[in-house]
Amino acid sequence: MRRRLLGAAVAVLAVICGLAVHLGAADTAASDITGDALYVVAVWGGLVALLPRLSSWLIGAIVIAWSVGVELFQLTGLPVAWAGEWPPIVLVFGTVFDGRDLLVYGVTGAALFVMDATVRGSISRRRATSATV
């Protein structure tokens, strides 16, 4: 239950921070990279909230696959067309392909995987140690 709540809290905070960057920051490379990283964090948090028992490795793989898939989907031109009809869709699908985003997604997803696996491993070791004492 704690993991599910943590995932939900992380997702909500990432969305709030992402909206702050999207709405309040100048359109620069730094704000774009920050927004991309927060997008990955929000996806990770949402996935953990929905499926907290998935392994860290599987969550990381799904998060990266989703993010890369959304970026590649931008090559179809559909997200930019949809944004013309309903601008908030940009927050989920973006608009135009940017190869740099793929790097940001990979690095952020890998960092989240390492963090998640490390924390989960530490908790498991602590539980095992306290169970034998």
Q: Write out the H or E segment, with its range, that includes residue 48.
A: helix 29-50
Residue 125 has what pLDDT?
A: 79
Confidence of residue 4 (pLDDT cuts 50, 70, 90): very high
How many helices (H) and strands (E) in the chain? 6, 0
The model's pLDDT over 77-98, given as tens digits with 9 standing for 90+, comes to 999 999 999 999 999 999 999 9
pLDDT digits (tens, 9 = 90+) for 95-112: 999 999 999 999 999 999
Number of domains in the chain: 1
Domain extent at residue 28: 2-132
The predicted model scores a pTM of 0.90
Higher pLDDT, 130 or 5: 5
